[in-house]
Chain A
Amino acid sequence: MYGKGLKPLSIAAVAMLALSLSLVFFYAPLDGDQGFIQKIFYLHVPLAITALVGFVVGGVFAILHLRSNDRKWDAYSYVAIHISVIFGVAVLITGAIWAKASWGHWWVWDEPTLVSFLIVFLLYATYYPFRYAIEDRDRQARYASVFAVTAGAFVPLNFMAVRMAESLVHPRTFATAEGGMPGEMMLTFLCSLAAMGLLWTTLVKFELAAKSASGQVKRLRRALDAPVAGGSSRIAPEVS
């Protein structure tokens, strides 16, 4: 049942990615300052925004889980955080490449957005060992939801604290850069953002469909008294 609408969604995501990439390479003007390397902006920033929104969405699913006690929402929350962590790895890698190309160092400590993202990523990376350490499935789901809610509240607070630690030495340039961004760049950026959002949604749906299918197979095998093939992951929630 999770597979419903997956095909049109995947096609839309691929089409949007193709459109945004062609806009990035053939339509958006070259940046006067940084030249060609600035194009990684259209990959890095939408990835980061999608990952952060994904973390918060995972927190919202966790609240739904705690309120309704329906295990479905725990699976949603787990998958949302899982895909966002994968996006987070991509954000850190593209961020490091961009930093190397434009500032000459792989890591720059006085770029508050990147540092905040690293802290948020480190927190969410502990989600897996945290889940893994709790054996009882019900308790695991509940504790994971509490973690997701706490971490979701942590995301904006952390960004504020890191930005304040830098604000006097290092004025924020992105806010003004975005305000002064030429129309073509803005359009390309928005297209890339939409493409990343679609990609995230598609991957979440794929993951949920896969979990649901393997859960059904396992239940059928159990009903047939056949041996259940392969040990299932002890972290990932089961979906009915």
Chain B
Amino acid sequence: MTRSRTAFAAILAKDLRSELRTLQSLPAMALFAVTTFVVFRFGLDRTSLSGSLASGVLWATLLFAAVLGINRLFVSEREEGGFDAIRLAPIDRTVLFAAKAAALVVYLAALELVTVPIFAIFFLEDAAGLGPLVAVLLLTDLGLAATGTLISSMAVNSRARDLLVPLVLLPLSIPLMIAATGATEPLLSLGGPSYDRFGTWLMVLGLYDLIFGLVGYAVFDFLLED
């Protein structure tokens, strides 16, 4: 147990350090998200958003930006031989799943830390809904991390790795997006935030996180066998 914990911390720290030094994913994700906001401003021809439009724009943008990062999640492991090292090391292989998912949660949280305030400045009349939105963001990040890590680890070992992640991940994340937009919509409504079915949607998000966290934990071992 303690050995797994050490390995988990080591892999996570390695990932975060290499991202900090190379800045391969995060700046690209943030830049993509901000540019997408501008595209939506002209696509929808609106200068301010609220309610369902606001939550739709926010979540569509965050989802596609997340796909960019998920695509690159395992590229370094494959190119620099990280997979072989994990296979050689006397540790539980699901540790790699947990560490990569945790790293992805950190990336997504950092992405949202930058882009959600920009979204608020661009489109929102009042920012009162942003406080409770943190809970929605966090739970959705966990779900995206669980499914994203699973799909990314398979896609990286295939011929069409840049294609597979968006192809498989988008339908897989639809329930997550239904719940996330459902919870966000009343928070960003015009007359200040309301909490219509907020708890129910958070529970759906939690259920998704739980199920796909467990599925990932159960099947990840088979993905590293070779």
With A145-B222, A150-B219 known to touch, is A133 a contact of B158 (CB < 8 Å)? yes
Is A85 an interface residue when CB atoms closer than 8 A count as contact? no
> Which A142-198 residues have C-beta < 8 A from chain B?
142-143, 145-147, 149-151, 153-154, 157-158, 160-162, 164-165, 168
- Closest 9 A/B residue pairs (Cβ): A161-B175, A123-B171, A133-B158, A133-B160, A122-B171, A161-B178, A134-B158, A146-B219, A126-B168
What total of chain B residues lie within 8 Å of the partner, measured CB to CB? 34
Per the bound structure, the CA–CA distance linking A62 and B191 in Å amounts to 50
Residue of A nearest to B196 (CB): A168
Q: B49-68 CB contact bits vs A (8 Å, 1 = yes)? A: 00000000000000000000
Q: Is the CB of B219 within 8 A of A149?
A: yes
Nearest CB on A from B54, distance (A): 17
> Which B138-186 residues have C-beta < 8 A from chain A?
147, 150, 154-155, 157-161, 163-164, 167-168, 171-172, 174-175, 178-179, 182
A-B contact count (CB 8 A): 91
With A150-B150, A153-B212, A164-B204 known to touch, is A143 a contact of B167 (CB < 8 Å)? no
Q: Which residues of B contact A151 (CB under 8 A)?
A: 172
Q: B96-119 CB contact bits vs A (8 Å, 1 = yes)? A: 000000000000000000000000
Residue of A nearest to B159 (CB): A133
Query: B residues engaging A (CB < 8 A)?
Result: 147, 150, 154-155, 157-161, 163-164, 167-168, 171-172, 174-175, 178-179, 182, 197, 200, 204, 207-208, 211-212, 215, 218-219, 222-223, 225-226
From DSSP, what is the main secondary structure of chain B's interface residues? helix
Per the bound structure, the CA–CA distance linking A132 and B155 in Å amounts to 11
Q: Is the CB of A158 within 8 A of B175?
A: yes
Query: A residues engaging B (CB < 8 A)?
Result: 66, 119, 122-123, 126, 129-130, 132-135, 139, 142-143, 145-147, 149-151, 153-154, 157-158, 160-162, 164-165, 168
Q: Which residues of B contact A164 (CB under 8 A)?
A: 178-179, 182, 200, 204
Q: Which residues of A contact B178 (CB under 8 A)?
A: 161-162, 164-165
Q: Is the CB of A150 within 8 A of B160?
A: no
Per the bound structure, the CA–CA distance linking A135 and B160 in Å amounts to 10
Q: List, sorted by A's number, 11 A–B pairs whose CB atoms are closer than 8 Å.
A: A119-B171, A122-B171, A123-B168, A133-B161, A133-B163, A142-B225, A143-B158, A158-B175, A161-B174, A161-B204, A164-B178
